[in-house]
C-alpha cells in the first residue's frame, strides 16, 4: 500500500478509471455482437440499424482511447464487409 497521500489517491482514481474502461469495452463488444447476430439472422434492415450503432460505438471507443485508431478502422472495415456480404 502506498504511504503518500497522492499515491493513495492515484490508486483510487486508477481503480475508478479501470472500471469505467471495462464497462465501456463491454458495451462496445455487446454492440458488435448485436450486429453479428443480426447478420447471422440474415435480417438486412435490422443489420443496417445495428451497423450504424456499432460503428458509432467503435468511433467513440477510439476517441476515448480504448482502441487504437488503426484497430478501430480494422473493426469498422470488418463490420462493413459483413454487411455488404449480406447483400
Q: Where are the domains of the chain?
A: 5-86
Q: Using 50, 70 and 90 to split pLDDT, how confident is the model at 87?
A: confident
pTM for the whole thing?
0.87
CA angle 56, 59, 63 (to 5 degrees): 135
Selection from 52, 66, 53, 54 nearest residue 24 by Cα: 66
Backbone torsions φ then ψ of 55, nearest 5 degrees: -65, -40
CATH class of 5-86: mainly alpha
The pLDDT value recorded for residue 20 is 97
Amino acid at each position: 500500500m502506498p504511504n503518500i497521500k497522492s499515491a493513495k489517491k492515484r490508486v483510487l482514481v486508477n481503480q475508478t478509471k479501470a472500471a469505467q474502461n471495462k464497462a465501456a469495452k463491454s458495451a462496445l463488444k455487446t454492440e458488435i455482437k448485436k450486429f453479428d447476430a443480426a447478420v447471422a439472422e440474415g435480417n438486412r434492415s435490422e443489420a443496417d440499424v445495428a451497423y450504424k450503432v456499432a460503428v458509432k460505438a467503435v468511433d467513440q471507443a477510439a476517441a476515448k482511447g480504448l482502441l487504437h485508431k488503426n484497430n478501430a478502422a480494422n473493426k469498422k472495415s470488418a463490420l462493413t464487409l459483413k454487411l455488404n456480404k449480406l447483400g
